[in-house]
Amino acid sequence: MQGFAVQNFLDALVNPFLLMGALVTAGLTVAGLTGGFIFGLLIAVMRSSKWRAIAGFARVYIWFFRGTPLLIQMVAIYSGLPQVGIKFGVFTSVIVALVSNEAAYMAEIIRGGFLAIPPGQTDAAKALGLTRWQVLTKIQLPQAVRIILPAVGNSVNGLLKATSIASVISMEELMRRSEMIMQLKFDVLEVFAAAAIDYLVLTTLWDQVQKRLERRFSRGERAKVAPAVEQAALPR
């Protein structure tokens, strides 16, 4: 059995083809996080709705996408939906799968953030005549974001690595490009080691972003949230 070739590992580490795959992985992660947060916020609000049908739909959505593997969801979107006349390309299928899956987890994270806010603040805001939208955007969401940041950070790390599943439908992200290089050069250990380093770099960069966000929200939101009810209640 051939040993680990350091030079081949170094070559793979700076391989432009592999580095471009890392950028694709980062882009998929950002898209999945952004779409997942927005859609997850909607699902979280629906989950708390007084309308049973709406809340029930949100519960079923969360139950389904958290209870089935992302791999199956991605394959079903790419290969199953065309059977009923809905056809997506590889890139669109990956984005739809990542956003749909991430939204289910984000919905529960966001809902947990809302539940951590003292209910008296919401009651006070409603008593002052704020609309449901004002309560959400000015009272609940700013505080919830600060509360859920650590959980969102873990979710992003998981999402970043979950993008490797896209390789099964030929999305040329980091893992798929690693496999393509290995098929040419047969440097399995060396290429996988280089890919692992790329993943570590991406997760480390996100850790730094998360720390900055946590410091910012811990500094700024305490001063902003306290007078939020009074400011929002002022005549317009």
First to last CA, the chain: 76
Q: What is the mean pLDDT of residues 121-140?
A: 76
The mean pLDDT of the chain is 86
Name the pTM for this structure. 0.83
Q: What pLDDT band is residue 2 in, cutting at 50, 70 and 90? A: low
**Would you give the DSSP letter of residue 117?**
S
pLDDT at 121: 76
Q: What is the mean pLDDT of residues 178-207?
A: 90
CA distance 126 to 164: 45
Measured on CA atoms in the order 170, 174, 180, 186, is the torsion positive or negative?
Answer: negative
Instruction: Name the fold adopted by 6-233.
Output: MetI-like fold (1.10.3720)
Structure tokens, 106: 């984000």
Cβ(194)–Cβ(184) under 8 Å?
Answer: no
H helices of 128-227, in order, are 132-134, 141-162, 174-185, 188-225
Residue, of 97 and 221, whose pLDDT is higher: 97
CA distance 45 to 43: 5
CA distance 109 to 152: 7
Percent of the chain with pLDDT over 70: 92
Cβ(188)–Cβ(182) under 8 Å?
Answer: yes
Indicate whether 236 pLDDT > 80: no
Indicate whether 225 pLDDT > 50: no
pLDDT in tens, 51-106: 999 999 999 999 999 999 999 999 999 999 999 999 999 999 999 999 999 999 99
